[in-house]
Amino acid sequence: MEWWQMALYILFLLIGMVLLVKGADWFVDGASNIAKALKIPSLIIGLTLVSMGTSAPEAAVSITSAINNNVEMSVGNVVGSNIFNTLFILGLSAMIMPLVINRDMKHFDIPIMLGLYILLAICCFVISPGSIDRWQGGVLLAAFIAYMVFLFLRSKNTPDENPEFLEEKEKMPIWKAIVLTVVGLAAIIVGGTFSVDCAEVLALEWGMSESLVGLTILALGTSLPELVTSVVASIKKENDIAIGNVIGSNLFNVMFILGISAMITPHTLAPDAGLTIGWMIASAVALLLISFFYKTTKKWHGALMFGGYVVFITLLILQNYGIISLIA
């Protein structure tokens, strides 16, 4: 490939990433205003629309990958995004400002996330070794619906603790909110297509596997909305938003995105799936232990989590280029 062709693919990849991030921003703004106009509680907005909106890039990339039969990229994007969300984003947020993990998050959402990861591992390595079948995707989607019902019922007994973060922006007319939501969704879809197609070409040119592209380039790019939301929330001392956005996005990624993409195309896992899913489980265990033994996160917790992500990425890159082997 000529240098100018490679430069063009990189340019289109960057354009795709910008469309994904900006589209997610528009989608969240529009959908949040529609929800507020319909008087949906702010907790539901925060844990559903905000987390789903910031996960829209992952949805676009994974579903597009599944349609194009790039299943390793689809799984890699979800797993890589979840590891990035927990270790990098929460690690960075905790280094900026101590985070208080509320009781509901500690007793419900984080254990549910860990349980979901373990269930995914059982499906991938015990029930149907090396794959995620369509019926398993259906189970994940059913779990997503059940979790949404659980969230809604739980919200009725939960006070509105952080309405300010969700109401910072001036209210917009309902027609404008609908237009913004539709335009945002269109930008996400176009950006997802650009990102996947360009990343696949560059991966082959650079000798990277589809799985590694999903776990690194696409995972980092599609997680930018979560990064911005959680870091800003951390600076503003909005703990529930900073942590809830990450946990909600992680749950949405596995239950909805992986569920629907597996129903479109059954997934065959990459050889290093044991390492990556294991690291994802370890990140959830670390967060659960921190929440149970400490009232607030410490800066050294954040540094350890951040360091865990750096080690993870380093191992993946070294393995991809044959410098080390971590596959049994």
Angstrom distance (rounded) from CA 195 to CA 48: 25
Burial (CB < 10 A; 0-12, 13-18, 19+), residue 128, is middle
Residue 238 to residues 136, 170, 242: CA-CA distances in angstroms? 36, 19, 6
Residue 100 to residues 37, 94, 176, 229, 294: CA-CA distances in angstroms? 30, 10, 36, 17, 9
Among residues 64, 79, 56, 50, the alpha carbon closest in space to that of 269 is found at: 79
pTM: 0.78
Per-residue pLDDT of the chain (328 residues; tens, 9 = 90+): 788 888 998 898 889 878 877 876 787 677 667 767 776 655 566 566 666 766 777 777 788 778 888 777 778 888 988 999 999 999 998 898 888 888 888 888 899 999 999 999 999 899 989 889 999 999 999 999 999 888 878 766 655 554 444 454 556 788 888 898 788 878 877 877 777 678 778 877 877 777 787 787 777 777 777 777 677 667 767 666 678 778 888 999 999 999 999 999 888 888 888 889 999 999 999 999 999 998 888 999 999 999 999 999 999 888 877 787 766 5
